[in-house]
Each structure stands twice: as structure tokens, then as C-alpha cells.
Amino acid sequence: MGNDENRSGGNGGPATSVIAKVKPKTKRPNLYRVLILNDDYTPMEFVVHVLEKFFHKDVEAATKIMLHVHHHGIGECGVFTYEIAETKVTQVMDFARKHQHPLQCVMEKK
């Protein structure tokens, strides 16, 4: 009976207990769509170049997105976390202004 007393903390001995690790549930970050808007002044070739440069699209995918923008007024470049989407929008807008084009790029929550 001496072993039972030690496990339960009787006789002033150390008590044993089990520590269970609880894994915290991580929430997936919100995602944002980065969109290019159509305008009547930005050349189609420039839009394709932007899609290749900032969104790593190949010529075929970039051309397809550009034509979608041209025909529907808006097109999705990609889906990213908030910080990345915000950076992409800023990069595209700065690049367009630097080259004197009125191209608009925006982000919206998915």
C-alpha cells in the first residue's frame, strides 16, 4: 500500500499528474482578390507586361486576363493575403503612374 500512498500524495510524497498539450486552433487568414480595371487609355501590351511582371503570369495567361479585363471591365490577377494584395496593388499603381498610364488596380475581400 506504500505505492498507492505515494501516487496520491499521501505521506507528503510527490504527487504525479499528466500535463496535456492543447494545440491552439489557428484561423486561416482572410484572402483578397487583386483586380485590374479597364480604361480606354492604357495599352493592352502594358497590361500584359504588368501581369507578367507583378503576378508572374506567362504570356498566354496574361493575355487571357487582359482580354477579360478589356471585354468585361474587370479581371482578377490573383488571390493573396491582405499584406501581399496591398503590396501588389501599390506596386502596380506606382508602375502605371511611372509610365504615365491611368491603369487602376484594386483589392477586395474574397
pLDDT of residue 16: 79
Q: pTM (2 decimals)? A: 0.77
Whole-number Cα distances in Å, 103 to 15, 63, 88, 108: 70, 16, 13, 17
pLDDT-derived band at 2, boundaries 50, 70, 90: low
Closest CA to 73 of 32, 42, 52: 42
pLDDT of residue 98: 98
Q: Is the pLDDT of residue 35 over 70?
A: yes
Cα gap 82→80, rounded to integer Å: 6
